[in-house]
Amino acid sequence: MFLSEEERTETIRACRHCPMCNVADRVAQLVCRESYAPRGRGAILFALDQGLLDWDETVAEIMYTTQNDGLIREWCVGNYDHEELVLDARAKIFKKGLAPVEAVRFIEDLHAGRGRGLSPSEVLSKEGVATESKANMLLFCGCGSRESEGDTIADTGRIFNHVGIKFQVLPKEPCCGWPLYQLGDLEGTREFSVTIADRIRASGASTVVVLDADCYRMLLTRTGRFGGDLKGIKVIPVVSLLAEWIESGQLKVTRKISDPLTYHDPCALARYCEESDSPRKILSAILEVELKEMESNRKLANCCGAGGMLPVTRPDLADKVALLRLEEARATGASTLATGCPRCHGTLTRALSSESEAGLHITNLVRLVAIAAGLVE
Ligand code: SF4
């Protein structure tokens, strides 16, 4: 959708001969087959355009087996948008009814509202956190938080209450449409984009604070392009807001954290939206010791394994990508790994639980802020 026909053709012609970014594609390295690397995908798409190959389940399996995390673009001297090339291929595959069964099932569940997860308003009221309908600030939790991050939702609410900022959450919060966009259901993405924008507008909020990095990227850069009208409404990731509050003194640090700690930059936040300073401002304020940076960090950080909705189609590979990221974290000597996104948190935690020796504690940055502010133990 976002590559013109000319850009698409040009990208395919560039990628089909080029091995330059293969080194940054962890799934390609794990699968060890050229067809799963950017150059292989370029060659396949070229052959499809020339009528030398047919769209079939094998092509579909290859196009859905990538973390599509945008890192390869950082290696590309031509700045080709290979990620959008893959998404364009997935949209064609989905329309032809050839998408992998796991992707189709996931899409159907989202449309049917199945697996909606926790209710943010119930989580907050159970934890004694006050919300106010029609408040100017709206907390958008996202599917990643609602699936398993009740603590992060509650901690965020506690911090809002502590600072004295009124906020609301959407009743029966809908999905922003990000997973549909990644899995090739563009009609569904349009429908969800319009719904979420209408719901946010009807809430009366002027600022949306987003917990999940992918939801943030969606609302900031894609919802409008899919027909959702968020004009005039400010969208901000929770880490930026917390950094502002700490910097301005609105949120006081009463207890510094002494654990040796490293930080995982979510791709959507650090790479696509170029927000990697706020987490570091927070950490420099709440840590007693210096942050231990991983070898790949900020814009060039490796993915946690959740990129491109890989856990839906290839959870085995998503786990392997996550384990590589955990290795990077351990190499810093840190005992705690903090993330700035519930989806990364969940993916890394799942991978960690598959290992016999954990040796690493994974947490959300919001929890660390709540501890540093004396709101939780
Ligand atoms: S995205 Fe750039 S570096 Fe990667 S294969 Fe295509 S042209 Fe080469």
Residue 58: half-sphere exposure toward Cβ, Cα within 13 Å: 7
Does residue 90 line the site of ligand 1, with CB under 6 A? no
**Closest Cα to atom 3 of ligand 1:** 76
Does residue 28 line the site of ligand 1, with CB under 6 A? no
239 has a pLDDT exceeding 90? yes
d(CA 290, CA 287): 7
> What is the CA(172)–ligand 1 centre distance, in A?
41
The CATH number of domain 250-372, selected from 3.30.2310, 3.40.50, 1.10.12, 1.10.4190: 3.40.50
Mean pLDDT of 163-181: 97
Q: For residue 144, name the pLDDT band (cuts at 50, 70, 90).
A: confident
**Closest Cα to atom 6 of ligand 1:** 15
Tell me the pLDDT of the chain averaged across its residues: 96
> What is the CA(183)–ligand 1 centre distance, in A?
22
Q: For residue 148, name the pLDDT band (cuts at 50, 70, 90).
A: confident
Does residue 171 line the site of ligand 1, with CB under 6 A? no
Task: Look up the CATH architecture of domain 120-243.
Answer: Up-down Bundle (1.20)
Query: Nearest to residue 263, comparing CAs of 252, 278, 241?
Result: 278
What confidence score (pLDDT) does residue 354 get? Answer: 80
What confidence score (pLDDT) does residue 358 get? Answer: 66
355 has a pLDDT exceeding 80? no
Mean pLDDT of 147-167: 95
Domain segments of the chain as ranges: 5-98, 120-243, 250-372
What confidence score (pLDDT) does residue 348 get? Answer: 95
Helix (H, G, I), strand (E, B) or coil at 138: strand
Question: What residues contact residue 299 under an 8 Å CB cut-off, 6+ apart?
Answer: 74, 265, 270, 271, 274, 276
Mean pLDDT of 124-142: 97
Does residue 12 line the site of ligand 1, with CB under 6 A? no
Does residue 82 line the site of ligand 1, with CB under 6 A? yes
> What is the CA(269)–ligand 1 centre distance, in A?
22
d(CA 368, CA 377): 10
- Across the chain, which distance is largest between two alpha carbons, in Å? 65
> What is the CA(294)–ligand 1 centre distance, in A?
25
What confidence score (pLDDT) does residue 1 get? Answer: 59
Does residue 76 line the site of ligand 1, with CB under 6 A? yes
pLDDT tens for 31-81 read 999 999 999 999 999 999 999 999 999 999 999 999 999 999 999 999 999
CB 28 within 8 A of CB 55: no
CB 218 within 8 A of CB 178: yes
Does residue 80 line the site of ligand 1, with CB under 6 A? yes
Query: What end-to-end distance do the CA atoms of the chain give, in Å?
Result: 47
Does residue 72 line the site of ligand 1, with CB under 6 A? yes
Write the Ramachandran bin of 104: left for phi over 0, alpha for psi from -120 to 50, otherwise beta: alpha
Residue type, 102: E
